[in-house]
Amino acid sequence: MVSSLPSLPLVAGVAVLAISAGGAVTAGAGATSLASSGASLDATNAVGAAGTALARRGEVVSRSETRDSDVQVEETDPELVALAEKQMAERAAKLAEIRKEAEKQAAKIKENKWVLPLASYQITATFGQYGLWANYHTGLDFNGNTGDPIMAIANGTVTSTGYDGAYGNKTVVTLDDGTEIWFCHQTSIYVSVGDRVTGGEVIGTVGATGHVTGSHLHLEVRPGGGGPVDPFQAFVEHGIVP
């Protein structure tokens, strides 16, 4: 009579023992030899089955360890959370401060933006040139036709009007920041001392009075009522390129 086959765990264990002993293993007295019976097991298959079983157990352990690791990662230190929230709040406050300053500066630029004194012109002489002048050219010359309207370049108060030698008919407008703007060689003057003017308001007309070779507007920029500076650069700094 042929004995029944042992269970898979038992077979795997037997196979491992058989390989380590270097030969086949028999079941014992009166039992059929595993090596000679029709129900013999291939040792390699047995070991493979055992290895698969062990591997599956390893996978279970690995998944368990992964889950434990995930749980640990999710556990966040309250102090780190508080620090991150503090840094975010500080960053938001800084951005709000920068935005406020940018808006303030933009409003200031818009308020102080200059306008051109003539609607149509050509620049015929720049600041610092030498030639027809006693020392050097102290302003910016806008070529125009006699009678062309002259506009105040920014908000200010008229502080001087009248004839002034080589400058001819001249109007001085003192801007709100104390800068004096001289409008020279005018044919006519439309404003009086003490008048409040705004940028773009017509204050007189282009002419050829004083020391000139042709009709044009000579414009000077004098910060604080002091010496003249380059009007071209002053225009650029106030948002416009002549």
Q: What secondary structure, in 3-state letters, does 12-81 show?
A: HHHHHHHHHHCCCCECCCCCCECCCCCCCCCHHHHHHHHHHHHHHHHHHHHHHHHHHHHHHHHCCCHHHH
pTM of the model: 0.57
In the predicted model, residues of the chain with pLDDT beneath 70 are 1-75, 108-112, 131-134
Instruction: Name the 3-class secondary structure at 217.
Output: strand
Taken in order 142, 147, 153, 159, is the CA torsion positive or negative? Answer: positive
What Cα–Cα distance (Å) separates residue 232 from each residue in 136, 144, 157, 171, 210?
16, 17, 22, 19, 23
CA separation for the pair 137, 127 (Å, rounded)? 5
Q: How many helices (H) and strands (E) does the chain have?
A: 4, 9
Instruction: Name the 3-class secondary structure at 141.
Output: strand
What Cα–Cα distance (Å) separates residue 81 from each residue in 74, 78, 92?
12, 5, 17
Instruction: Name the 3-class secondary structure at 209.
Output: coil
Task: Determine the pLDDT at residue 75.
Answer: 65
Task: Determine the pLDDT at residue 103.
Answer: 85
Q: Report yes or no: 188 and 131 within 8 Å, Cβ to Cβ.
A: no
Task: Determine the pLDDT at residue 109.
Answer: 64
Q: How many other β-carbons are positioned within 10 Å of the β-carbon of residue 204? A: 22
Task: Determine the pLDDT at residue 33.
Answer: 40
What Cα–Cα distance (Å) separates residue 238 from each residue in 108, 112, 151, 233, 234?
10, 7, 16, 9, 6
Q: Which residue has the tokens 């051109």?
A: 116
CA separation for the pair 147, 150 (Å, rounded)? 9
Q: What are the φ and ψ backbone dihedral angles of 226, each rounded to 5 degrees?
A: -90, -145
Task: Determine the pLDDT at residue 135.
Answer: 73
Task: Determine the pLDDT at residue 53.
Answer: 43
User: What does the pLDDT look like over 108-143, one tens digit per residue?
Assistant: 666 668 999 999 999 999 998 776 655 788 999 999
Task: Determine the pLDDT at residue 42.
Answer: 46
Q: Which residue has the tokens 């818009």?
A: 110
